[in-house]
Amino acid sequence: MRTRGKVGIGCLVIVLAIVGIGAFMWFNREPRPIVVAEAGTGGERVMLGDTPANFFPGSGDRPRPAILLLGGSEGGLKESRNVFARQLAAEGYSVLYPGYTATSEANRAFDMVPLEIFDAALDWLAARPDIAAGPVAVIGHSKGAEGALLLASRDQRIGAVIAAMPSDVVWQGFSFDPVDVSKLQSSWSVGGKPVPYVRYDMPAWYEWITGATMLGMFEESRAAADGNSRALIAIEAIDAPVMLVCGEQDNLWPGCDMGGNLRDRAKTAGAPEVELLAYEDAGHWGFGPASDLDEGDKRYLGQMGGTAEADMAARADQWPRILAFLDTNLGERED
């Protein structure tokens, strides 16, 4: 059995890298800056209670079908996600992008994030006369994919799910700042209680130095949790078509393996169809806008597995597929 080091602040800065930023930040003890970008051109800032969100109304004169866009572990509100939202709005979809974590000092850690934030987002969309009646799509990347699948499993207002670099389980919370990981509970909560989750099987400090990887940590943690069925995301409870996207060279977490597990469990349960788009040469960042990228997106291309060229090729291939999937499940968006 592998020897575990006592979990302390020095070892726990490794958690800085979990799901989203990369190995070059593993030993960075500087606090991560909170970024809450304005919506900018074509959008507006709205508030969902205490949660800031950017809203981008879809082009066209009639009420538009709606999309809830969930960012990943980067948290806050980022211009790179604004760019994606604007491109979807230009196609005729109204997009709400909530900053569900890391928008203030009070929610810096990705820990016990209330799923009720997403309930409030759906309520806000439903109350607007410029939003078409009917189902809402949810699109999420990485930790946002985890949240998107969880939301769809508990709310039938979701009529389509696009989950990129997905997880098939709920994970323990984490922080980009040095913290005592033993105090972190589930990434998500409902009614103030933790959603059942998989704990990280963290290598000892010296194993990181001698070759342990984030991908290996997630793979071992996931394998150790195979008997913990309560932590599985209930794909069979999602009453909507699901599109999963993954890069087979993802070196952050095993998104293609977890996506395959979701697809197989859905098929066994007779749930709505789950489509899995697996890109052989792409990594964790092989999802998002395919053109006019923000610098924040460009910086990460090829940095979490695969190459920048493969990540961009995956994005270009996905875009028409995403629009066709949304058209099929939300209705035509042209006036």
Task: Show the tokens assigned to 169.
Answer: 């389980």
- Phi, psi at 273, each rounded to 5°: -60, 140
With a pLDDT cut of 90, the percent of the chain lying above it is: 79
Mean pLDDT of 249-277: 96
Vertex 20 angle, CA 17 and 25, to 5°: 35
pLDDT in tens, 202-217: 887 678 778 889 999 9
Q: What pLDDT shows up at residue 335?
A: 59
- All domains in the chain, ordered by first residue: 35-172+232-329 (3.40.50.1820)
CA atoms within 13 A on the CB side of 57: 13
Q: Report DSSP state, residue 27.
A: T
Q: What pLDDT shows up at residue 204?
A: 77
Mean pLDDT of 3-26: 37
Task: Show the tokens assigned to 257.
Answer: 């393996």
How far, in Å, CA of 75 to CA of 49, rounded?
17
How far, in Å, CA of 304 to CA of 213, rounded?
12
pLDDT at 32 over 50: yes
Task: Categorize the per-residue pLDDT at 287 as very low, low, confident or very high, splitting at 50, 70 and 90.
Answer: very high
pLDDT at 20 over 60: no
Which range has the top average pLDDT, 16-20, 144-148, 182-186? Answer: 144-148
Q: What pLDDT shows up at residue 77?
A: 98
Q: Is residue 232 classed as helix, strand or coil in its secondary structure?
A: strand
pLDDT at 22 over 60: no
pLDDT in tens, 76-127: 999 999 999 999 999 999 999 999 999 999 999 999 999 999 999 999 999 9
pLDDT in tens, 47-63: 999 999 999 999 988 99
Q: E strands within 94-220?
A: 94-98, 113-114, 136-141, 158-164, 188-190, 193-194
How far, in Å, CA of 165 to CA of 218, rounded?
13
pLDDT at 1 over 90: no
pLDDT in tens, 297-319: 999 999 999 999 999 999 999 99
pLDDT at 21 over 80: no
With a pLDDT cut of 70, the percent of the chain lying above it is: 89
Q: What pLDDT shows up at residue 12?
A: 39
Mean pLDDT of 223-229: 84
How far, in Å, CA of 74 to CA of 92, rounded?
27
- Phi, psi at 16, each rounded to 5°: -55, -30
pLDDT in tens, 247-259: 999 999 999 999 9
How far, in Å, CA of 22 to CA of 26, rounded?
7
Q: How far is CA 303 from CA 94, 267, 310, in A?
A: 31, 33, 11
pLDDT at 169 over 60: yes
Residue 141 near residue 287 (C-beta atoms within 8 A): yes
How far, in Å, CA of 22 to CA of 5, rounded?
22
pLDDT at 6 over 50: no
Alpha helices in the chain (DSSP H): 9-12, 79-90, 116-126, 143-154, 205-209, 214-224, 255-269, 295-298, 308-330
Task: Show the tokens assigned to 110.
Answer: 């990705």
Q: How far is CA 76 from the centre of its chain?
A: 13
